[in-house]
């Protein structure tokens, strides 16, 4: 495993349709992870909690407010980088406001392909119906996302809680990883 000197707190937030068939992602337009699709998030500032940071970053980057709940914690270490990433992952099944592109992120809805969904039943659709038919949307672009995402996203879409770690070399290639989730509901 990659060694590191310190840990920095980050957030990453996903808005998901209640049937888990659609997810809102953002294309990172600058900085770390540029050109990759991801949830909305960033560094936790010293005076705020991770939940406050998650709500702030979602609003700054996508222009919307959502009742986020934490659904996972991820740990990433990159060879040659002193500070490892502790990323609290949040999800919400509803939002208010108008989804808006920002300097940092271009938001877009994707349809969640069957590979990322649990077999059999998903939890009942208790919220709003999806705004559009997910069949018309492109699938989640795993080939243009961090390599860890395909391992924990199925746990998130199944409404399970998850933890895990992934270590990367200096070229951002994922070297070693483990992920675990709470039992299926």
- Binding residues for ligand 6OG, rule: CB under 6 A, are 10, 12, 31-33, 38, 41-43, 76, 85, 87, 146, 148-149, 168
Report in angstroms how near the CB of residue 182 gets to ligand 6OG at its nearest: 19
Our CB check for ligand 6OG shows the closer of 33 and 67 to be 33
Concatenating the DSSP letter of every residue in 68-88 gives -EEEEEEEEEETT-SEEEEEE
Our CB check for ligand 6OG shows the closer of 117 and 147 to be 147
Our CB check for ligand 6OG shows the closer of 113 and 144 to be 144
Report in angstroms how near the CB of residue 105 gets to ligand 6OG at its nearest: 8
Our CB check for ligand 6OG shows the closer of 2 and 87 to be 87
Report in angstroms how near the CB of residue 138 gets to ligand 6OG at its nearest: 19
Report in angstroms how near the CB of residue 136 gets to ligand 6OG at its nearest: 26
CA–CA separation, 122 and 114 (whole Å) = 12
Q: How many of the other CB atoms lie within 10 Å of CB of 129?
A: 9
CA–CA separation, 72 and 67 (whole Å) = 16
Q: How many residues does the chain have?
A: 185
Our CB check for ligand 6OG shows the closer of 78 and 158 to be 78
Residues contacting 122, CB < 8 A, separation 6+? 19, 20, 157, 158, 159
Report in angstroms how near the CB of residue 174 gets to ligand 6OG at its nearest: 8
Pairing relationship of beta strands 162-168 and 69-78 according to DSSP bridges: parallel
Residues contacting 97, CB < 8 A, separation 6+? 59, 63, 64, 65
């Amino acid at each position: 495993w990659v060694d590191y000197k310190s840990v920095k707190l980050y957030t990453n937030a996903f808005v998901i349709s209640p049937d888990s068939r659609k997810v809102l992602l953002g294309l990172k337009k600058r900085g770390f992870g540029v050109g990759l699709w991801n949830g909305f998030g960033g560094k936790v500032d010293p005076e705020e909690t991770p939940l406050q940071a998650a709500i702030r970053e979602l609003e700054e980057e996508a222009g919307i407010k959502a009742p986020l709940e934490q659904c996972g914690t991820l740990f990433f270490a990159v060879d040659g980088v002193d500070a490892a990433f502790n990323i609290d992952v949040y999800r919400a099944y509803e939002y208010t406001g108008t989804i808006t592109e920002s300097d940092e992120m271009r938001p877009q809805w994707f349809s969640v392909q069957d590979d990322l969904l649990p077999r059999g039943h998903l939890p009942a659709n208790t919220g709003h119906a999806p705004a559009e038919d997910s069949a018309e949307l492109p699938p989640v672009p795993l080939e243009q996302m961090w390599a860890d995402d395909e391992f924990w996203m199925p746990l998130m879409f199944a409404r399970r809680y998850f933890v895990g770690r992934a270590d990367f070399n200096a070229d951002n290639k994922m070297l070693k990883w483990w992920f675990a989730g709470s039992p299926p509901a």
